[in-house]
Amino acid sequence: MRERYYKLRSESWNMEDGKQKLAVLEEMILIADRHMTVQDAYTARMNYSSAVLECGCPERLFVSFGWCLGQFEQNPGDYSSHEILWHYKWVLGQIWRMPQISTARIDRAFEDFKQKCIQHGFSLRPYYQKLLLYKLYQGDKASAADYFKLWRQSKHDYLSDCKACEQNMFGKYYFELNHNKKGMQAVKPILEGKVSCSTVPQNTYSQVISPLLKLGDYEQASAMARKALRALKGPQYLWEYGVFMEFYTVTDMAKAVKLYESTIRLGLACRMPWDRLHYLLSVRLFMQEWGRSRRRKKLPESDQVTPEWLDGEIASLASAFNERNGNEYVHVLIEEKQLNMQRLLNVYRKQAPGK
C-alpha cells in the first residue's frame, strides 16, 4: 500500500485544484491511517489541509486540522510548532465564516492559538491580525481598531504573514472603514509590483475596485479588472469572482454574463456560508440588472437560481450570521451593497468614458 500512497502523491502534484484532487488526498489519508505510521498520517492530513483552501473547500479544513492539532498536543516534540501554528492561522481565518460555530467557540480557538504562540516563543502579531479581520466582519469596528494598533505594534517574526499579505491587509482595513484614499496608498506597493506572493496581488485587485469607483477613477478600475481576470484562476477565488461580476454588471454586461456562466456552479457547490453569502449577493445584483431587459438567452442553472431563491438563500444566511453575532451588521452590509451598486450605476453611466 505504500506504493499506492506514493503513486497517488505523485499524481496529486500534477492535478488541477478541485474535488477530484481532494478525493486523491483523502485516499492517501486512509492508506496512511491503515498501513503507515502516525507521522505519515499527520503529513497526509497537513497536505490535505493546504489543498482544501486551494480547492475552494475551506470547510473541510477543521476535521483534518483538529486531528493534527491533537497529535501535536500529545507529542509536541515530534512535529513542527511553526507548521501547526501556521495552519492554525488558516483555521482562525475561516472559523468565523460559519454561523453555526458559536462566538464562545471562536473565542476559545483564538485564546488557544494565543497561548500556543506564547508557549512556543512566537510573537502575537498574527493573533492580533486574525482578530482584527474577525472583528471587522463581525461589525465591531471599535475592537478592530484596537487590534489594528496592537497588530502594528507587535514584533514581526517568521509566523507573521509576508510583507505582501500584510500590506494587503492594511488596505483591506482602510477600505472596510471607507478610508479609500488611505487604502489605495497602502496597496500602492502591491499595484506597482514592488511586493507580491502566491495570493497577492490576485486578491488585492478585488479589494480596490469599489474604492476606485467611489473615488471616480474609472480608468484604473477597468485596468485592475482586466488584470484580475487574467490572474484569477481556481475555485478558491469565489468572492473575487463575485466582485468582478458586480463590476462588469455596471460596465460590461457581456463580460458579467461570462463570469456568471463560468462560476455559478462553483457558487452553488460552495459550503462555506460567508463566501456563499457574498457570492450570491453579487449574483443577485447581476440578476437584477440582467432582468431589466427582455433577453432570449437562458442563463445556466436558471431553474434553480431565481430571484425568489436568491432572496431566500441570502435572507437565511444573513439571519444566521446576525443571530450568531448578536447584531444586524450583515443586514446593514447587504443594504449598503445594494445602495452602492445603484449609486455606481447612476454615476458610471454619466461619467465613465464611452458610457
- Checking if the pLDDT of 185 tops 70, the result is yes
- 234-264 pLDDT, tens digit per residue, is 899 999 999 999 999 998 999 999 999 999 9
- Checking if the pLDDT of 352 tops 90, the result is no
Average pLDDT, the chain: 94
- Checking if the pLDDT of 355 tops 60, the result is no
Task: Give dist(CA 337, CA 333) in Å, integer.
Answer: 6
- 200-241 pLDDT, tens digit per residue, is 999 999 999 989 988 989 889 999 999 998 899 889 999 999
Task: Give dist(CA 326, CA 348) in Å, integer.
Answer: 36
* Alpha helix (H) residue ranges in 101-140: 103-119, 125-138
Tell me what the mean pLDDT of segment 167-195 comes to: 97
Tell me what the mean pLDDT of segment 152-166 comes to: 97
Task: Give dist(CA 218, CA 200) in Å, integer.
Answer: 22
- 56-107 pLDDT, tens digit per residue, is 999 999 999 999 999 999 999 999 999 999 999 999 999 999 999 999 999 9
- Binned at pLDDT 50, 70 and 90, residue 297 comes out as confident
Q: What's residue 351's pLDDT? A: 64
Task: Give dist(CA 72, CA 83) in Å, integer.
Answer: 10
C-alpha cell at 245: 461580476
Task: Give dist(CA 112, CA 92) in Å, integer.
Answer: 11
Tell me what the mean pLDDT of segment 36-41 comes to: 97
**C-alpha of 192 from chain center:** 23
How many Cα atoms are found within 13 Å in the side-chain-facing hemisphere of 347?
A: 15
Q: What's residue 307's pLDDT? A: 95
Task: Give dist(CA 291, CA 228) in Å, integer.
Answer: 26
Per-residue exposure over 284-314, b if at least 16 CB sit within 10 Å of its own CB, e if not: bbbbeebeeeeeeeebebeeebeeeebeebb
Whether the bond between 273 and the residue before it is cis, its omega within 30 degrees of 0, is no
Residues for the chain: how many in total?
355
> What pTM was estimated for this model as a whole?
0.95
Per-residue exposure over 235-257, b if at least 16 CB sit within 10 Å of its own CB, e if not: bbbbbbbbbbbbbbbbbeeebbb
Residue 129 CB burial class (10 angstroms; 0-12, 13-18, ≥19): buried
Tell me what the mean pLDDT of segment 46-51 comes to: 97
| CB of 207 closer than 8 Å to CB of 171 | yes
| Of residues 225, 128, 220, the one with CA closest to residue 173 | 128
Task: Give dist(CA 96, CA 138) in Å, integer.
Answer: 9
- Checking if the pLDDT of 353 tops 60, the result is no
| CB of 215 closer than 8 Å to CB of 184 | yes
